[in-house]
Amino acid sequence: MKPKIITIVGKSNSGKTTFLEKLIFLLTDRGYKIGSVKHAHDGFEMDKEGKDSWRHRKAGARASLVITQNEAAVVKDDKTGYIEKMRSYLFDMDLILAEGFKKQNLLKIEVFRTGSVHKEPLCMEDENLIAFVTDSDYKPEVPLFGLEDINQTADFIESNFLKS
């Protein structure tokens, strides 16, 4: 069975990364295998210029796998879409939590913080919005959580997407 993918979306400086970090910690602590995905722009280099794996890729290798006793990282040419990449590389996870990908047709939890430069949430009309995390007065017709309600958000994800 393919793992579900839930994206944590919001505008810059809304607290997405901090929220996601706490959520991953809690769900992992509950015994789930959580994969995480962060969007990067094309042309990023995971390996430093001059290192062997970087040199292999520059020489024409279509994929480069860097392994240690306990870790593995791969950089691979892959023209498939975002969702296909997530499921392909993280197939053995219980759940994939991704940061960003607000335009993809994926389940979304939006983090919206008042006092930021952003006046309105992103996904109020998005049919994929499954929860809203905020300190604002916005009340979309999905479960609402406060910015510090990490346990309750984890409970929501666990009961709706992990225990089904």
Task: Identify the pLDDT of residue 12.
Answer: 84
pTM for the model stands at 0.87
Task: Identify the pLDDT of residue 150.
Answer: 96
Contact 122, 136 (CB under 8 A): no
Average the pLDDT over each of 40-49, 66-75, 108-117 and give the range with the smallest value. 40-49
CA gap 58, 157 in Å, rounded: 42
Instruction: Concatenate the DSSP letters of all residues of 39-65 into one string.
Output: ---TT--SS-TTSHHHHHHHTT-SEEE
How many CB atoms are located within 10 Å of the residue 23 CB?
A: 22
Question: For the segment 20-45, what is each residue's pLDDT rounded down to a tens digit?
Answer: 999 999 999 999 999 999 876 666 66
Quick check: 59 pLDDT over 90? no
33-57 b/e with 16+ CB inside 10 Å = b? ebbbbeeeeeeeeebeeeeebbebb
**Domains present along the chain, CATH in parentheses:** 4-41+79-162 (3.40.50.300)
